[in-house]
Structure 1
Amino acid sequence: MRRAYLVPGLLAAALVTWACTDDIIGVSYPASPTGLYYVLEPSGDPAAPSGIVLHWNAVNDPALDGYNIYSRGTANESWGLRGTTTSTSFHDEGVPHLQYYVTAVNVDGGESDPSDYVAVDERLRLPAPQSLISISLDGAIHLEWADNAYQSAPDGFDYYRLYSAAYDLDLNLCGSDWVLEGTTVSASFLVAGITNGRPRCFAVSAISIEGFESLWSGLRYDTPRPDGHNVILYTAAADAAQSGFRFFRDLNNDGLVSRTELGLVGAASSGTNDFVLTDVGGTLYLTAQRANDSLQVYGTTPIASLTDIDIAPAGGYTRDQISAVPLWGYVFQMVEGAFYRYGSIRVSAVGPTYVIFDWAYQTDPGNPELSRIAR
């Protein structure tokens, strides 16, 4: 269904003056085109679409030669020929004019009366999507937002556009290298295939069936990070070779993070783990091992998943051992050179001599993002 607003004073204006008679004998005139409508081409700038595509119904005339497209930039300007085509659509590149109409032309040079005209009416633009949130994932970011644009005009809504750009964590500034990540009709989107440890800005806009692009949502930044699931860690007495955990160890000393250097399970006796599992009187504890490592319980209640751990706290870490409790989250702070690095775990099960947990690690030095959600 196409939408339109009637503009007072414009409908009564004559589009063009046409002669009632013609002195050229034998010239016939085709019927006027019908069903004219337009679709704008979004550009990312709501005020400057990249173009407009006009569509109309074909004129059934064996002598038809083509169509003329006319436009004007304001309601007070004269109409001018914008282009010609033999198809039933026309692409006008660049910022579109305000109004358009189409005529049919036959092989004798006869031109029809104008079609009804269409006006590019910005009042059909949808509101900007609200409440953009994100969840950090391994090589991906999950985005969600309120579906207010669709709810404001279900018959006028078409789809959402997702954008991203680089983000400078130190300057708290989004870059200017915005790119289109994709489109969706739902109020969520998974941005996949992005590099862990590299922060990015995100925004979403809503597109109407006419192609009007809304203003952007508020900007959201997030940083993907690697994670792992269902890791089993034992006490040293139960399995000495699998009693310590290291989030990241630069095994080849190249300063880069590779998959084989993440989520390492080893012996507590090595002394190089971020934490080990200890048994004190039948209670299992998480104990920081490396000299500059510390930890804390995340929040005051159990968490549903690892992604519930969003920003690593700035303080409150301890070297004291903390009991491992099923469904609770824990955050680790580790000193690496001049920066802190952060990791998190969610314990899913505790056995007599072992724990099972999921983990996440932020590879961007100094970045506390483990999962970014609404706060």
Structure 2
Amino acid sequence: MNNKTLALFTLIFFTIILSSCNNVTNYDDIAPLPPKNIKTITGDNRVDIYWDPSPSTDVAGYNVYYSYSYNGKYTLIGSTKETYFIDSEARNGNTYYYAVTAYDFNGNESQLSDDIVYDTPRPEGFNQVVFDYLQFPDQSAYNFSSFSVVPYNSQNADFFFENYNGTYYIDVWKDSDIQDMGITKDIYDVDYAPLTGWVPLVEGENIKYAEAKIGHTYVIWTWDNHYAKIRVKEITSQRMVFDWAYQLVEGNRELKRADNPTTRKETYKIVIRKR
């Protein structure tokens, strides 16, 4: 072997050694920081989960976990490179706690996110129709628990529609409550049922009522302590078309989103229904 060949082999050998040393030196075993500001949007048999990106620069993606309690065991439900994830396996009436981790290109995974985030999916419906109870009494009310139109004087009527000399109303019986939340762009704009501000009962009357206005969303606190919302889409002299959402869990005010449940106070209604 001549000197030129020997020098070439020596160069290759040291290049391999240096490369190996560099790989060892550059190996990353530091996990990225977890994401923050986890938020959820309550859906019908689904929960949409959003978060702010991890501040770490080497994030390859995120893992999403759920549990049935904040301090319980968290189970991986999916991974994504985006900053949102849809839990399409969530079921109405069940409460889920969510946490998100970040992982890097070397497989290092962060701790679970700290945010206290839970959600209870609930059913919803669109383009439902009820009719004026004075003209069509058997098709004038809606019962959220059965997702069905019922007569206005049914024990199961949660609200009914009224055309009173050209002014339109959404009526509830006196053991229920209603509140106009104002103009909204869709049914999802109202996150939570309010704690106060319900329409008062007029002395001597058996119903409470709010004027029905197209584009407004109304929250209803039903006689059996459930919360629902409806958004009016169309009104004629005979009928009202609306979208709705209904929380299956008694006393749970979630109608869209759960961000910081530690600040919430639940209220309950205990009523024996009378007409």
Structure 1 CA distance, aligned partners of 2:175 and 2:161? 18
Which residue in the other structure is 2:240 paired with? 355
Moved more, 137-146 or 235-244: 235-244
Q: Does 1:266 align with 2:162?
A: no
SS in structure 2 of the partner of residue 312 of structure 1: coil
Which residue in the other structure is 1:284 paired with? 168
Q: Give the 3 Å change call, closer, same or farther, for CA 177–233 of structure 1 in structure 2.
A: same
8 Å CA contact retained: 2:226, 2:250? yes
8 Å CA contact retained: 2:54, 2:102? no
Structure 2 CA distance, aligned partners of 1:368 and 1:118? 54
Report how far residue 215 of structure 1 moved: 3.3
Which residue in the other structure is 1:145 paired with? 51
Which residue in the other structure is 1:342 paired with? 227
Which residue in the other structure is 1:294 paired with? 177
Report how far residue 304 of structure 1 moved: 2.1
Q: Does 1:200 align with 2:96?
A: yes
Of 130, 151, 158, 2:36 maps to 130
Structure 1 CA distance, aligned partners of 2:257 and 2:122? 11
How many residues align? The count is 241
Greater relative contact order (Cα 8 A, min sep 6): structure 1 or 2? 2
SS in structure 2 of the partner of residue 268 of structure 1: coil
Q: What does 1:197-346 correspond to in 2, within 5 Å?
A: 197-217=93-113, 218-248=115-145, 261=146, 263-289=147-173, 291-298=174-181, 301-318=182-199, 319=201, 320-336=208-224, 340-346=225-231
Q: Give the 3 Å change call, closer, same or farther, for CA 177–363 of structure 1 in structure 2.
A: same
Q: Which amino acid counterpart does residue 363 of structure 1 have in structure 2?
A: L
- Spell out, residue by residue over 1:96-127, the C-alpha distance to the aligned partner (whole angstroms, 9 max, x if none): xxxxx7xxxxxxxxxxxx8952565445x333
Structure 2 CA distance, aligned partners of 1:182 and 1:304? 31
Q: Give the 3 Å change call, closer, same or farther, for CA 214–278 of structure 1 in structure 2.
A: same
Report how far residue 201 of structure 1 moved: 0.7
Q: TM-score, normalised by structure 2?
A: 0.78
SS in structure 2 of the partner of residue 117 of structure 1: helix
Which residue in the other structure is 1:62 paired with? none
Report how far residue 327 of structure 1 moved: 1.7
SS in structure 2 of the partner of residue 128 of structure 1: coil
Report how far residue 175 of structure 1 moved: 4.1
Report how far residue 328 of structure 1 moved: 1.4
Q: Which amino acid counterpart does residue 80 of structure 2 have in structure 1?
A: T
Structure 1 CA distance, aligned partners of 2:143 and 2:16? 70
8 Å CA contact retained: 2:215, 2:231? yes
Report how far residue 131 of structure 1 moved: 1.6
Structure 2 CA distance, aligned partners of 1:269 and 1:278? 13
Greater fraction helix: 2
Structure 2 CA distance, aligned partners of 1:317 and 1:158? 48
Structure 2 CA distance, aligned partners of 1:372 and 1:161? 21
SS in structure 1 of the partner of residue 52 of structure 2: coil
| Structure 1 unmatched ranges of 5 or more | 1-30, 38-100, 102-113, 168-173, 249-260
Structure 2 CA distance, aligned partners of 1:208 and 1:146? 16
Larger radius of gyration: 1
Give RMSD over aligned pairs: 2.8
8 Å CA contact retained: 1:360, 1:370? yes
SS in structure 1 of the partner of residue 223 of structure 2: strand
Structure 1 CA distance, aligned partners of 2:89 and 2:190? 22
8 Å CA contact retained: 1:266, 1:273? yes
Which residue in the other structure is 2:59 paired with? 157
8 Å CA contact retained: 2:117, 2:258? no
- Structure 1 stretches of 4+ with a deviation exceeding 6 A read 31-35
Q: Give the 3 Å change call, closer, same or farther, for CA 199–34 of structure 1 in structure 2.
A: farther
Q: Give the 3 Å change call, closer, same or farther, for CA 363–211 of structure 1 in structure 2.
A: same
Structure 2 CA distance, aligned partners of 1:33 and 1:117? 14
- Spell out, residue by residue over 1:300-338, the C-alpha distance to the aligned partner (whole angstroms, 9 max, x if none): x422222222121123223421011122111111233xx
Q: TM-score, normalised by structure 1?
A: 0.58
Report how far residue 279 of structure 1 moved: 1.1
Q: Give the 3 Å change call, closer, same or farther, for CA 215–353 of structure 1 in structure 2.
A: same
8 Å CA contact retained: 1:205, 1:216? yes
